[in-house]
Amino acid sequence: MAQAMQIDTLKASNTLQDAGFDKKQADAIVQTMSSADASGFATKADIKVEISDAKSEILKWMFGALAGQTALLIAVIRLF
């Protein structure tokens, strides 16, 4: 289901008019923005989950590499 962005259309239109757009242009831009499909936008929760997953993946690889280096060091010490 498509979600429209929640914006204050009057404030947005007035801001655009203050920036030099005429009323017709400002209203057209605001109408286009407010009818945009926002269902594909990432939320803060989505981003936090992605960051958490990335951190977990990095830690997994770091500890794996550390274990491999330790095993290699022990093997080299036993060799001598």
State the pTM of this model. 0.50
C-alpha span between 21 and 11 (Å, rounded): 14
Min mean pLDDT across 14-23, 28-37, 62-71 is at 28-37
Question: Token pair for residue 55?
Answer: 């951190």
Residue 1 has pLDDT above 60, yes or no: no
Distance (Å) of CA 35 to CA 6, 24, 64, 69? 9, 17, 48, 56
pLDDT at site 25: 95
Q: Where are the domains of the chain?
A: 1-41, 42-80
Each residue of 23-53: pLDDT tens digit? 999 999 999 888 877 778 888 999 999 999 9
Residue 74 has pLDDT above 90, yes or no: yes
Handedness of CA 58, 59, 62, 68 (dihedral sign): negative
φ, ψ (nearest 5 deg) of residue 49: -65, -45
